Amino acid sequence: MTAINRFFAGNTGPVLTVIAAIIAIWYVGAVFMNAPFQRDIFKRADTQYTTAQLITETMRQERPVLPAPHQVAVEIWKTTAQKNITSKRSLVFHSWVTLSSTLLGFLMGTVLGIAIAVGIVHSRTLDKSLMPWIITSQTIPILAVAPMIIVVLAAIGVKGLVPKAIISTYLSFFPVAVGMVKGLRSPDVMHLDLMRTWSASPAQTYWKLRWPSSLPFLFASMKVAVAISLVGAIVGELPTGAIAGLGARMLNGSYYGQTILIWSALIAAAFLAAILVALIGVIGKIVTARMGAPAQ
Amino acid sequence: MLEAWGGYGAKIEASMTEAAAVSSPVITASDLSLTFQTNDGPVHALADIDLAIQPGEFVSLIGPSGCGKTTLLRVIADLEQPTKGALTVNGVSAHDARMARAYGYVFQAAALFPWRTIAKNVSLPLEVMSYSAKDRAERVARTLDLVDLTGFEKKYPWQLSGGMQQRASIARALAFDPDLLLMDEPFGALDEIVRDHLNEQLLKLWARTKKTIVFVTHSIPEAVFLSTRIIVMSPRPGRIHDVIDCNLPSDRTLDIRETPEFLKLAHRVRDGLRAGHSYEDQDEGSDLR
Lowest-confidence region among A118-132, B135-149, B263-277: B263-277
pLDDT of amino acid A241: 63
pLDDT above 50 (res B9): no
Report the pLDDT value the prediction gives residue B63, as an integer from 0 to 100: 87
Distance CA A283, CA A30 (A): 39
Which positions in chain B have a beta carbon within 8 angstroms of at least one beta carbon in chain A? 77-79, 98-99, 101, 103-105, 107, 109, 111, 113-117, 124-125, 127-129, 156, 158, 176
> Taking a contact as any Cβ pair under 8 Å apart, which residues of chain A between 182 and 201 contact chain B?
188, 190-191, 193-200
Q: Which residue among B99, B111, B158 sits closest to A190, beta carbon to beta carbon?
A: B111
Whether the ω angle into residue B237 lies within 30 degrees of 0, i.e. cis, is yes
Inter-chain contact A292–B114, Cβ cutoff 8 Å? Answer: yes
Residue B183: is its pLDDT beyond 50? yes
- The answer to whether residues A209 and A149 touch, using CB atoms and an 8 Å cutoff, is no
Query: Is pLDDT of A134 > 60?
Result: yes
Q: What value does the mean pLDDT take over residues A66-91?
A: 86
Statement: residue A50 has pLDDT above 60: yes
Candidates B128, B139, B159: best to mutate against A (most CBs of A within 10 A) is B128
Of A195, A197, A208, the CB nearest to B77: A197
A227 or A81: which leads in pLDDT = A227
Dump pLDDT digits (tens) for B159-168: 999 889 999 9
CA distance B269 to B223: 9
- Could you give the strand order of the β-sheet that contains B180-184, starting from the edge strand earlier in sequence? B103-106, B180-184, B212-217, B58-62, B229-234, B239-245
CB-closest option in A193, A198, A208 to B79: A193
A198: closest CA of chain B, how far (Å): 6
What per-residue confidence (pLDDT) applies to B277? 63
Amino acid type, A241: G
Sorting pLDDT into bands at 50, 70 and 90, what band is B257?
Answer: confident
CB–CB of B128 and A198 under 8 A?
A: yes
Between residues A158 and B149, the one the model is more confident about: B149
The angle formed by the CA atoms of residues A72, A77 and A80, to the nearest 5 degrees, is 120
Reply yes or no on whether the pLDDT at B283 is more than 50. no
| A293 and chain B in contact, CB less than 8 A | yes
Residues of A in contact with B101 (CB under 8 A): 198-199
- Determine whether the interchain pair A194/B105 forms a contact, defined as Cβ–Cβ distance below 8 Å: yes
The minimum CA-CA distance between A202 and chain B, rounded to whole Å, is: 11
Contact A197 B114 (CB under 8 A): no
Chain A residue with the nearest C-alpha to that of B125: A198
Confidence of residue A252 (pLDDT cuts 50, 70, 90): confident
Look at residue B47 and give its three-state secondary structure: strand
Q: What is the pLDDT of residue B126?
A: 95
Q: Does A218 touch chain B (CB under 8 A)?
A: no
Determine the Cα–Cα distance for residues A62 and A42; give it in Å rounded to an integer: 15
Highest average pLDDT, of A96-110, A237-251, B2-16, B180-194, comes from A96-110
Could you give the C-alpha distances from A196 to A192, B98, B289, in angstroms and in order?
A: 6, 8, 19
Q: Is A208–B127 a contact, with Cβ atoms under 8 angstroms apart?
A: yes
Q: Is the pLDDT of residue B6 over 50?
A: no
Residues in chain A: 296
Q: Do B107 and A197 touch (CB under 8 A)?
A: no
Partners of B158 on chain A (C-beta within 8 Å) are 294
pLDDT value at residue B154: 92
Q: How confident is the model at residue B122, as a pLDDT?
A: 95
Q: Rg for chain A (alpha carbons), in Å?
A: 25
pLDDT of residue B120: 93
Encode pLDDT of B217-244 as tens digits: 988 989 999 999 999 988 878 888 888 8
Minimal Cβ distance to A294: which of B124, B128, B158: B158
Supply the pLDDT for residue B7. Answer: 43
Calculate helix-pair angle for A161-184, A124-139, nearest 10 degrees.
Answer: 130
Does the structure show a pLDDT above 80 at A234?
yes
Average of pLDDT values for A134-142?
87
Distance CA B229, CA B54 (A): 11
Output phi, psi for B232, to 5 deg. Answer: -90, 125
pLDDT score at B286 = 46
What's this model's pTM, rounded to 2 decimal places?
Answer: 0.80
Secondary structure class of A97 (helix, strand, coil):
helix
Q: Nearest residue on chain A to B94, judged by CA atoms?
A: A197
Q: What is the mean pLDDT of residues A128-143?
A: 87
pLDDT of A7-33, one tens digit each?
677 778 888 999 999 999 999 999 999
Mean pLDDT of chain A: 88
Residue A131 CA to residue A117 CA, distance in Å, equals 10
Given a cut of 80, whether residue B16 has pLDDT beyond it is no
Q: What's phi and psi for A44, nearest 5 deg?
A: -65, -35
- Residue B152: pLDDT band by 50, 70, 90 thresholds? very high
Identify the pLDDT of residue B279. 52
The answer to whether residue A210 scores a pLDDT higher than 80 is: yes
Q: What is the mean pLDDT of chain B?
A: 84
Q: Which of A194, A196, A288 to mutate to test the interface with B (most CBs of B within 10 A)?
A: A194
The per-residue pLDDT for A1 is: 56
What is the length of chain B? 289
**Residue A38 contacts residue A58 (beta carbons within 8 Å):** yes
**How high is the pLDDT of residue A294?**
65
Per-residue pLDDT band for A278 (boundaries 50, 70, 90) equals very high
pLDDT at A248: 87
